[in-house]
């Protein structure tokens, strides 16, 4: 009777095949986990961009017909409260800070003392450029508002252009109540 079993070469061949399968599955699992991380990061980035545009749109739609101050790279205006009473009427401003974040400045009300300091919050990070243009009553886009004493308290619209640090350029136009 012949002994039953595997030869040493058969066992080594089986171990080699199993180790190759394990290495390939480990690399495949690593690729899947890396792809999942990239998708999660992209999803978070676009969720924060959408939240920023939603907030900016809400603020601009609630803009009060009071003078706007739009210095280079900064848009400051007064905003009414929301109909639901969630927000209070206040002066707000948007600008790009030195940390490459779009920052919102919130004053406690419409009319504040000249030396009153606003609360500042970053609302969107990783922004390379932040540009604003204003639509005047002649339907011409201008870089500063108001241009003169004759201008209305609010422009007709605001065009917002941001370039993210990752290179994407986004342009949105928001109508203001006149």
The distance in angstroms from the start CA to the end CA of the chain is 103
Tell me what the mean pLDDT of segment 27-33 comes to: 87
pLDDT digits (tens, 9 = 90+) for 150-173: 777 888 999 999 999 999 999 999
Closest of 83, 86, 121 to residue 104, by C-alpha: 121
Residue 60's H or E segment, with its range, is helix 8-61
pLDDT in tens, 43-52: 999 999 999 9
Rg (CA), the chain: 28
Measuring CA to CA, how many Å separate 162 from each of 46, 143, 176? 13, 15, 19
State the average pLDDT for the chain: 87
């Amino acid at each position: 009777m012949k002994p039953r079993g595997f030869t040493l070469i058969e066992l080594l061949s089986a171990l080699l095949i199993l180790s190759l399968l394990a290495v390939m599955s480990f690399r495949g699992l690593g690729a899947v986990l890396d792809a999942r991380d990239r998708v999660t990061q992209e999803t978070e980035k676009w969720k924060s961009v959408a939240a920023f545009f939603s907030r900016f749109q809400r603020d601009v739609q609630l803009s009060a017909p009071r003078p706007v101050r739009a210095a280079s790279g900064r848009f400051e205006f007064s905003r009414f409260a929301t109909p639901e009473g969630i927000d209070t009427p206040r002066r707000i401003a948007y600008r790009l800070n030195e940390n490459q974040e779009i920052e919102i400045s919130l004053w406690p009300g419409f009319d504040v003392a000249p030396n009153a300091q606003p609360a500042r919050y970053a609302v969107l990070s990783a922004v390379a450029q932040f540009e604003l243009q204003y639509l005047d009553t002649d339907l011409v886009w201008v870089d500063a508002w108001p241009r003169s004493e004759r201008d209305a308290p609010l422009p007709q619209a605001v065009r917002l252009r941001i370039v993210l640090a990752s290179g994407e350029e986004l342009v949105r136009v928001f109508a203001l109540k006149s």
